[in-house]
Amino acid sequence: MKKFLATAIATLALSVSAQAATIKVGVVGPFSGPFALQGKNFKAGIDAYMAVNGAKVGDNDVEIIYRDVPQADPAQSKALAQELIVKEGVQYLAGFYFTPDAMAATPILQQGNVPMVVMNAATSAIVTKSPYVVRTSFTTWQTSTPIAQVAKDAGVDKVITVVSDYGPGVDAENAFKAGFEKAGGKVVEAIRMPLSTNDFSPIMQRIKDSGAGAVFAFLPSGPTTLGFVKAYNQNGLKTAGIKIFAPGDLTQESDLPALGESAAGMQTTFHYAVSHDSPENKAFVEAASKAIGNPAELSFPAVGAYDGMHVIYKMIEATGGKQDAKKAVDAVKGLSWTSPRGPVSIDAESRHITQNIYLREVTKGAEGKYFNKEIKTFERQGDPGLAAAK
Amino acid sequence: MQTVLSIAIDALAYGMVLFVISIGLSVTMGLMRVVNLAHGAFAMIGGYLASYATRDLGLGYAPAILIAVVATAIIAVPIERLLYRRIYGAPELTQVLMTIGITFCVIGLANYAFGPTLKTIPLPETLSGSIDLGFRAIATHRIFAIVCGLIVAGGLWFLIERTAFGIRLRAAVDNAPMAAALGVRTQLVYAVSFAVAVGLAAFGGIVGAELLPVEPYYALRYMVTFLVAVSIGGAGSIPGALIACLLLGAIDTTGRYLAPEYGEFFFYLAVIVIVTLFPRGLAGRFK
């Protein structure tokens, strides 16, 4: 028995060393807990990419190792990233749903000689923390700025902003304010409400009392958006003609079945809608729906992950499978390709993705399902947040 | 003046929703003396069942509420028989550990069975619009929630204070062996009260679903608010719970209108002040 075991271990060890050309990619994201849906979307995007493009780059096999950080937890994120680099020997780090998680892992990239591909975390400053960070998602500034122009074009001069009181909410408030004032409008009042707000009636009353012609809102997608949109309708703001403008977080595909009628006609700007009409997106949606199981759960983190994998594949190609973070990152600077969301490129200076931002309207489809219908395109938008931070 | 009235109405509606959901917890904690952290889980089960009944089975709102409340109470019976009965009178820590365990199990099951996305309970035509009060519009559903709160408060007060069952329940709670010696079937009384408390949780989960949408983490997300409402009111007291919910609703709503950037500062400040002045809650029944 002992001998058998020893042989088994020896063969196992041999087979491991024979597969030395396996390139490991460590993915950190929320795969359990309240944000598991987002982690599931990461996985669906990655699986879809590998299903379409194969699990091999040249002669090298690509292996994904997942690590779970259920909620924003920088210490845990850093510990897991370190473990992935040191123990698992990953050549690439990817994923990162929350900004603090991504920020916490940036200091170890240089020493570990590992590039990081951020597939979601949307605060502008992340890319400045290390020269090895590349981002394939979006920033709140990027998605919130164009809606200011939309509001102005709709003939609105006075707007009140209402945002959830946390990093991305404050980003959205600043982005909108900057964009709207540049367009010649005025933000009459800025309200920040706690993340845990359930009852939005008093907020709606404030909006009414402010005398603004429209409201700009930002809340993270999930349970609160439902309450907010319903309160907007039920407190008579819609009938009073007060318009609502928001980035796409408020009308996520995964929330739309619940929002339904109350969100109909709402206009939002975002970088990706599952309904985007292009052959690339059709192929992506088909592959990702298969990977996620329930197509209704598919939303934006999947496309960030899909494009993230594209960038990682290009990096592996450029380095021939050798671990060289600098060469890998240099290889994708200025890289442009057609993503499911449209034409995109990695900005050579900021290493953030330049992409189209779409204005969408919540519309009832032929089968009675609500979807985000793209009605206008803002082409090749960079990240205005980085410029504003300087 | 308009603003004051407007805030008052919002406060009343929010307080009533809070009351409908929390009162079941007040019964388990105050009368049965079980720290039931799974209360939110039962409210969530009610919400899911109602959502399933309306959306997938195509039932109306009223029958869906009835079915969901009864079904949740039925689910609760074996749970009470097998799990809760062991922890009556046990130290609080044991109760907390077991009920939080149940909560996590329910979250996992709900996530597996219904998926992580939001579930809604479609309202009937008569409740879905809003009513114009002259100075502002208010969702018809809020009025419905206020009425439900009043009915629940009145009905429960009558049940506990004025019926034979209420007398047996209070006797069983105050001194179980003595009540049993006098012929009260305490185990049955406990089982029925538990089922009623769970049914109330389910009812609250359904009626409150417009404010607190049903999703797997519902069970934990709002538990702190429910616990605060119960401890401020004094566990086991119906008038206490009602006053506490209206008070907290008023403070929360006013704070949110006047200074939303302070977050829940005023809410918890009020909680601290009240608990300092009334350690047993506004109308605590037990010393």
Of B117, B141, B253, the CB nearest to A296: B117
Which of A235, A161, A245 shows the shortest CA–CA distance to A202? A235
pLDDT digits (tens, 9 = 90+) for B67-86: 999 999 999 999 999 999 88
Residue B211 confidence (pLDDT):
84
- Does pTM surpass 0.95? no
**Which chain A residue's Cα is nearest to B128?**
A234
A303 and A369 housed in the same domain? no
Query: What is the spatial distance between Cα B241 and Cα A241, in angstroms, rounded to a whole number?
Result: 39
Of A33, A198, A209, the CB nearest to B212: A198
Residue A2 confidence (pLDDT):
58
CB < 8 Å to B245, chain A: none
What SS3 state is found at A323?
coil
Residue A4 confidence (pLDDT):
59
**Which chain B residue's Cα is nearest to A194?**
B263
Question: From the candidates B118, B120, B267, which should be mutated to test the interface with A, based on the most A CB atoms within 10 A?
Answer: B118
Q: How far is B78 from chain A (nearest CA, A)?
A: 27
A60 and A152 housed in the same domain? no
Q: Is B76 exposed, middle or buried (0-12, 13-18, 19+ CB in 10 A)?
A: buried
Residue B115 confidence (pLDDT):
83
A336 and A368 housed in the same domain? no
Question: From the candidates A201, A229, A255, A294, which should be mutated to test the interface with B, based on the most B CB atoms within 10 A?
Answer: A201
Beta carbons of A235 and B130 less than 8 Å apart: yes
Of these ranges, B3-7, B44-48, B138-142, B169-173, the one predicted with the greatest mean pLDDT is B44-48
Domain limits for position B9: 2-220
Residue B133 confidence (pLDDT):
79
Which tokens is B132 given?
């114009």
DSSP secondary structure code for residue B214 in this structure? B
Length of chain B measured in residues: 287
A193 forms beta bridges with A164
Which of B152, B199, B196, B205 shows the shortest CA–CA distance to B40? B205
Which residue has 């002045």 as its token pair? Answer: B277
> Does A2 map to a domain?
no
Q: Give B235 or B46, the one with higher predicted confidence.
A: B46
CB < 8 Å to B119, chain A: 258
Q: How far is A65 from chain B (nearest CA, A)?
A: 23
Q: Give me the interface pTM, i.e. the ipTM.
A: 0.80
Length of chain A measured in residues: 390
A145 and A132 housed in the same domain? no
> Does A16 map to a domain?
no
CB-based contact, A257 to chain B, within 8 Å: yes
- CB-CB neighbours of B85 under 10 Å: 13
CB < 8 Å to B263, chain A: 165, 193-194, 196
Q: Give A16 or B119, the one with higher predicted confidence.
A: B119
> Does B269 map to a domain?
no
β-strand pairing of A60-68 with A92-95 = unpaired
Beta carbons of A258 and B117 less than 8 Å apart: yes
Q: Is A223 exposed, middle or buried (0-12, 13-18, 19+ CB in 10 A)?
A: buried
Whether the Cβ atoms of residue A100 and residue A48 lie closer than 8 Å to each other: no
Residue B51 confidence (pLDDT):
93
**Which chain A residue's Cα is nearest to B108?**
A33
> Does A1 map to a domain?
no
Q: How far is B217 from chain A (nearest CA, A)?
A: 6
Which of B280, B257, B255 shows the shortest CA–CA distance to B270? B255
Question: From the candidates A197, A226, A250, which should be mutated to test the interface with B, based on the most B CB atoms within 10 A?
Answer: A226
A134 and A210 housed in the same domain? no
Distance of CA A220 to the CA centre of its chain: 12
Residue A10 confidence (pLDDT):
54
Residue A6 confidence (pLDDT):
60
Whether the Cβ atoms of residue A291 and residue A43 lie closer than 8 Å to each other: yes
Beta carbons of B117 and A196 less than 8 Å apart: no
> Does A5 map to a domain?
no
Q: How far is B172 from chain A (nearest CA, A)?
A: 38
A217 and A120 housed in the same domain? no
Query: What is the spatial distance between Cα B24 and Cα B196, in angstroms, rounded to a whole number?
Result: 8
Least confident of A17-26, A44-53, B87-96, B201-210: A17-26
b/e map of A100-109 (b: 16 or more CB within 10 Å)?
A: bbbbbbbebb
Q: Spell out the residues 6+ positions from residue A228 whose beta carbon is closer than 8 angstroms to its own.
A: A200, A203, A217, A219, A250
Question: From the candidates A35, A193, A198, which should be mutated to test the interface with B, based on the most B CB atoms within 10 A?
Answer: A198
CB < 8 Å to B222, chain A: 198
> How does pLDDT run along chain A (390 residues), one tens digit per residue?
556 556 555 555 544 444 447 999 999 999 988 888 899 999 999 999 999 999 999 889 999 999 999 988 999 999 999 999 999 999 999 999 999 999 999 999 999 999 999 999 999 999 999 999 999 999 999 999 999 999 999 999 999 999 998 888 999 999 999 999 999 999 999 999 988 888 898 899 899 889 899 999 999 887 888 889 988 988 888 888 999 999 999 999 888 888 888 888 899 999 999 999 999 999 999 999 999 988 888 999 999 999 999 999 999 999 998 999 999 999 999 999 999 999 999 999 999 999 999 999 999 988 888 999 999 999 999 999 887 766
Q: Is B277 exposed, middle or buried (0-12, 13-18, 19+ CB in 10 A)?
A: exposed
Q: How far is A195 from chain B (nearest CA, A)?
A: 8
Q: Give B107 or A4, the one with higher predicted confidence.
A: B107
CB-based contact, A203 to chain B, within 8 Å: yes
Which residue has 């009513």 as its token pair? Answer: B131
Query: What is the spatial distance between Cα A384 and Cα B216, in angstroms, rounded to a whole number?
Result: 37
* CATH number of the domain within which A199 lies: 3.40.50.2300
Residue A18 confidence (pLDDT):
41
β-strand pairing of A22-29 with A92-95 = parallel
> Does A97 map to a domain?
yes
Which tokens is B59 given?
């039932």
Please name the helix (run of DSSP H) or strand (run of DSSP E) that holds residue B152, with its range, or none.
helix B140-162
A250 and A132 housed in the same domain? no
Which tokens is A209 given?
């009392």
Helices first, then strands: H and E counts in chain B: 13, 2
Residue A239 confidence (pLDDT):
85
Residue B30 confidence (pLDDT):
83
Q: Which residues of B touch chain A, with CB atoms under 8 Å apart?
A: 3, 6-7, 10, 13-14, 111, 115-120, 130, 132, 136-139, 141-142, 210-213, 215-218, 221-222, 225, 252-254, 256-257, 260-261, 263-264
Residue A19 confidence (pLDDT):
46
Of these ranges, A344-353, B135-144, B226-235, the one predicted with the greatest mean pLDDT is A344-353
Query: What is the spatial distance between Cα B19 and Cα B27, in angstroms, rounded to a whole number?
Result: 12
Q: How far is A272 from chain B (nearest CA, A)?
A: 19
> Does B7 map to a domain?
yes
> Does B113 map to a domain?
yes
DSSP secondary structure code for residue A124 in this structure? G
How many structural domains compose chain B? Answer: 1
A374 and A248 housed in the same domain? yes
Which residue has 């039925």 as its token pair? Answer: B74
Beta carbons of A202 and B254 less than 8 Å apart: yes
| Mean pLDDT of the B93-102 span | 94
Which of B134, B147, B250, B141 shows the shortest CA–CA distance to A231? B141
CB < 8 Å to A222, chain B: 118, 215
CB-based contact, A235 to chain B, within 8 Å: yes
Q: How far is A227 from chain B (nearest CA, A)?
A: 6
Domain limits for position A193: 141-270+357-389
DSSP B216-237: TTHHHHTHHHHHHHHHHH-TT-
Which residue has 């939002």 as its token pair? Answer: A268
Task: Give whole-number Cα distances, A180 to A15, A265, B2, in Å.
Answer: 61, 21, 31
Query: What is the spatial distance between Cα A188 and Cα A182, in angstroms, rounded to a whole number?
Result: 15
A378 and A306 housed in the same domain? no
Query: What is the spatial distance between Cα B68 and Cα B45, in angstroms, rounded to a whole number?
Result: 8
A232 and A295 housed in the same domain? no
Beta carbons of B213 and A227 less than 8 Å apart: yes
**Which chain A residue's Cα is nearest to B264?**
A194
A36 and A114 housed in the same domain? yes
For residue B228, the number of C-alpha atoms closer than 13 Å in the C-beta half-sphere is: 21
CB-based contact, A40 to chain B, within 8 Å: yes
DSSP A204-221: HHHHHHHT-SEEEEE--S
Query: What is the spatial distance between Cα A333 and Cα A282, in angstroms, rounded to a whole number?
Result: 27
Of A198, A239, A260, the CB nearest to B211: A198
Residue A272 confidence (pLDDT):
95
Q: Spell out the residues 6+ positions from residue B269 whose beta carbon is closer than 8 angstroms to its own.
A: none
CB < 8 Å to A226, chain B: 118, 120, 213
Question: From the candidates A197, A205, A233, which should be mutated to test the interface with B, based on the most B CB atoms within 10 A?
Answer: A205
Provide the number of CB pairs (under 8 Å) joining chain A to chain B.
111
A189 forms beta bridges with A160
Beta carbons of B256 and A199 less than 8 Å apart: yes
CB < 8 Å to A234, chain B: 130, 137-139, 141-142
Q: How far is A3 from chain B (nearest CA, A)?
A: 44
Whether the Cβ atoms of residue A304 and residue A137 lie closer than 8 Å to each other: yes
Beta carbons of A235 and B118 less than 8 Å apart: no
Query: What is the spatial distance between Cα A100 and Cα B186, in angstroms, rounded to a whole number?
Result: 53
Query: What is the spatial distance between Cα B136 and Cα A205, in angstroms, rounded to a whole number?
Result: 9
Tell whether the model's pLDDT for residue B287 goes beyond 50: no
Beta carbons of A222 and B3 less than 8 Å apart: no
- CB-CB neighbours of B154 under 10 Å: 11
> Does B281 map to a domain?
no
How many structural domains compose chain A? Answer: 2
CB < 8 Å to B139, chain A: 230, 234-235
Which residue has 């309240």 as its token pair? Answer: A34
> Does B46 map to a domain?
yes
Q: Spell out the residues 6+ positions from residue A331 whose beta carbon is closer than 8 angstroms to its own.
A: A314, A315, A317, A318, A319
**E-assigned strand segments in chain A:** 22-29, 56-57, 60-68, 92-95, 116-118, 133-135, 158-164, 186-193, 214-218, 243-247, 267-270, 336-339, 342-346, 353-364, 370-381
A189 and A98 housed in the same domain? no
Mean pLDDT of all residues belonging to chain A? 90
